Structure 1
Amino acid sequence: MSLYDEGHTLAGWIGVGIATAGCTVTGVGVCTVSAPAVVGGLVIVALSAVVTWVLHLSGWGKPPGVRPREQWGMRVRDTRAREGHPECLGCRLAGRRGVPTAAAEASVVPGTVRAGARPLSPVE
């Protein structure tokens, strides 16, 4: 079983839900030839990106990579969000540098490939 837990966050699911609603409104606008509906749908899609970003910065989105199993739940907040996540565009845009800390290094499960490291085989 993989140790990666990509996309299982409240920020991700709420963002996808809002973006889906925006795409639906845009599609209805295209089908009914309604410019206000198309523009409104695109605004909702843009809003989904902002909402996802804010939720990520408040700790409801998690960085990519290997995390211990106890941090996999959707209702578990990321306590390192205040410092920022290394190599995270959203955190860099918010001015958070995300310097790796000793706690971050300790959270890596032994015997796994670190995020950004080159795997030894396709199985890893």
Structure 2
Amino acid sequence: MAGHGYDEGHTIAGWTGVAIVAVGGSAVGVGVCVGSVPALAVGGVVLGLAALVTWGLHLAGWGKPPGVRPRSEWGMRVRDPWAREGHPGCVGCRLAGRGRTAVTALSVPGPTVAGDGTGMEVRGAAVVGGGGPRADLGRGSS
């Protein structure tokens, strides 16, 4: 793995999930070709099982958190020590009730009242101004 400078994300959870999906996808494919509803159902159940097994392995620390990992954690057999607390921005961790929320530009609360320089204040989508329903609240004169 020393030949490149990026993390490919190969993990036990990922490879296990792909193997189970291959079996489930094959069963669905056979069901489509043969026209067998039971084969389609079995394939669908196996695909659902693949999602649950992969999610469980991720929560147990055998998956990859979102983003790039440090080079020391690139190995497939390296267990993630922060999985129990939850990964920032990870949907799987949030679904499990774990998680630190990621602090991004979208998660930082903005001001509650904003002005656009016209003397009118906007709170959310509602325009706060005086006048009745026909009051001129736009820019410039009408």
Q: Shorter-chain TM-score: which interval?
A: 0.7 to 0.9
- If asked which structure has higher relative contact order (CA below 8 Å, sep 6+), I would say 1
C-alpha contact 1:83 1:98 (8 A) present in aligned 2: yes
Q: CA deviation at 1:35?
A: 0.5
Question: What are the within-5 Å matches in structure 2 for residues 8-47 of structure 1?
Answer: 8-47=10-49
Instruction: Give yes or no for contact 2:85–2:100 (8 Å, CA) kept in 1.
Output: yes
- Give me the TM-score of the superposition, normalised by structure 1: 0.75
| Shift, 1:80, TM fit | 0.3
Structure ranking higher in helix proportion = 1
Q: Structure 2 CA distance, aligned partners of 1:48 and 1:2? A: 30
Stretches of structure 2 lacking an aligned partner (at least 5 in a row)? 106-142
SS in 1 for 2:88: coil
Tell me, yes or no, if structure 1 residue 63 matches structure 2 residue 65: yes
- Once the two structures are superposed, residues 11-35 of structure 1 have per-residue CA deviations (whole angstroms, 9 ceiling, x without a partner) of 0110011011100001001111110
In the aligned structure 2, how far is the partner of 1:75 from the partner of 1:59? 10
The structure with the largest strand share of the pair is 2
Aligned residue for 2:84, secondary structure, equals coil
How far apart in 2 are the matches of 1:64 and 1:45?
22
Please point out which of 87, 94, 97 is paired with 2:89. 87
Q: Residues 36-65 of structure 1: CA distance to partner in whole angstroms, max 9, x if unpaired?
A: 001100110011000000000000001122
Counterpart Cα distance in 2 of 1:80 and 1:99: 14
Partner of residue 130, structure 2? none
Identical pairs, percent: 62
Local SS of the residue matching 2:82: coil
Rg larger in 1 or in 2? 2
Q: Give the paired residue count.
A: 101
**Which amino acid in 2 is paired with 1:66?**
V
Q: How big is the alpha-carbon RMSD for the aligned residues of Structure 1 and Structure 2?
A: 1.8
Partner residue of 1:50?
52
Instruction: Find runs of 4+ consecutive structure 1 residues off by over 2 angstroms.
Output: none
